[in-house]
Structure formats: C-alpha cells, structure tokens
Amino acid sequence: MAYIPTMLTPDEIQRYKRQLALKEIGGEGQQKLKAARVLIIGAGGLGSPVILYLAAAGVGAIGIIDDDHVSLDNLHRQIVHDTSGIGTVKTQSAAETIARINPEVATELHTTRLVAENASDIVRAYDIVADGSDNFATRYLVNDACFFAKRPLVSAALGPLDGQLTTFRAFETDEQGRPRPSYRCLFPEPPTEGSVPPCSEAGILGPVAGVIGSLQAVEVVKELLGLGQSLVGRLLLYEALSARFTTVTYAWDPENPLNGKSPRFFDLSHHRVALADV
C-alpha cells in the first residue's frame, strides 16, 4: 500500500515504543499506521474495540459512520461510550473517547446512514474498511462498495455467544489468477426474514463483542502493514461457551453477481431498492 512517510514526534516515539520494538512494525510500520486512513462502519459492539485499539495503535485518521445515539442498553458491550454520553450521537461520543486516548489521531465523523447514494464516496476516501454493522443489507452494501472502490474489507459479525471474522480483497486475483472471494461468495443470499433474531431479541454477552472486535483491529493492522497470513478466504469462528476458535476456508464463487464469470452488478444501484425497506 503506497504511503507518504510521516515522521514520528518524540511524544509519539514514547507512546508507541512497545510497538516500535516489534521487528514486524518498527519505525517504518508505525509511520505507515500514522499515514493510514481507516473507515469503521458502526460505533457499536464491534466498532467500539476496533476504534479503541486502532486509535491507541496510532492510526492517523479514523472515519466513523453511524447515525444512532448512545442509549443505556448499549453500554454493556459498546465500550467506546459511557454513561455520560447517553443521548449523544455515537460518532461524537466515539470521537471524544478517541481524543482522550490519543489526541494525535484525527477523527472524521459521518453521522448518517450508509446508503447506495453515499457509500462509494465515503469508502473511497479511506485505505481500508472495518465493517461492524448489524444487518445484512448494510454488509452487502459495504462489500460491494469496497469491491468497486478497490478497498480491503475486514468484516465481522456477532451472535449471542459467538462471532465470526474474515477479510475480503475481492478486487484482486490470487496466485493462480483467480478472483479472490467476496462476501457474496461466502453468503450468496441473506437469511430469510426473521430467521436471525436481532441482538435486542436474542441478547448478547458483551465480552464476546470485545473478543471479535479486538481481533478485527488486529486484522486491520495486519492488512495495513502487510503482516502475517491474511484472513482472505478464511473465516474465523469463535464459540464462547466452548472457548473454541475454528477456521474454515471458502473460495471464489464463479456464479456470484459481483465478480463472477458473468457479473450482473456494475455499480451500487441495485442497493437502492434493497435498502429502501430496511
């Protein structure tokens, strides 16, 4: 990923010295983080730990998109917010927390809903996207917007006592020249309406969001710095009750409508109808 070297200040060298000591990061890696721009979809249960850890790690600019307000029943899992922020828009509450953690980080707030009409412009302004949204329509929209903008996507989702995480770079090809998979290869169709109850009905254990969101932050850093093995083509599953992590592989689906053999989607216009009743 191309970047403009950004020198670290003496205070930043002190702040990040434990990361600078890592041979995988060092000064060059920390400068890349400082130059990076990350978009986080949702300042909720997943977005909270992603925001906290990326800000603490020294990502230079964090964009947050969310149109909701902080409520009391958010606070057991949405740890970027606190009781004093109840009633505040989540983007502003998260920005205030970032400023307390690391004033060197710039915040860019999108206090709006992500829709087909604005997704391309918003996504294109960042180097990578972390999706912590809680509905399938938005996940498909984010996937497609990242594909057309050629932006890596680290995607996560939660259940009551479980979670999952993967990375998409569907705009690229693999070593054999085959397209890399997208969200549509992993989940060709959304589940039938009502088959997956929302968090408000099914419940959720707050620390589960912390586990998956923290892992999501790790994968964002790995993608920004080109570290280790990516989760592209691999779905990481976490089951809290059994304390078990499982990784399953998945591949490009030649029938998918985005980057399959006969694509049917060439922009985001198909989402205008899909999101209308969500």
**Segment 7-10 long-range contacts (CB within 8 Å, at least 24 positions apart):** 7/31, 8/34, 9/104
Strand residue runs (E) in the chain: 37-41, 61-65, 106-110, 128-131, 153-158, 162-168, 234-239, 244-249
pTM metric for this prediction:
0.94
The count of other CB atoms within 10 Å of the CB of residue 248 is 12
On whether the CB atoms of residues 27 and 19 are closer than 8 A, the answer is no
243 — phi, psi (to 5°)? 50, 50
Q: Which helix (H) or strand (E) holds 142?
A: helix 136-149
How far, CA to CA in Å, does 108 sit from each of 41, 61, 98, 125, 211?
12, 7, 11, 11, 25
- Domains annotated on the chain, with CATH: 14-184+204-274 (3.40.50.720)
Q: pLDDT 10s per residue in the chain (278 long)?
A: 444 557 899 999 999 999 999 999 999 999 999 999 999 999 999 999 999 999 999 999 999 999 999 999 999 999 999 999 999 999 999 999 999 999 999 999 999 999 999 999 999 999 999 999 999 999 999 999 999 999 999 999 999 999 999 999 999 999 999 999 999 999 999 887 766 777 777 899 999 999 999 999 999 999 999 999 999 999 999 999 999 999 999 999 999 999 999 999 999 999 986 554 44
Question: How would DSSP label each residue in 5-42?
Answer: --PPPHHHHHHTHHHHTSTTTHHHHHHHHHH-EEEEE-
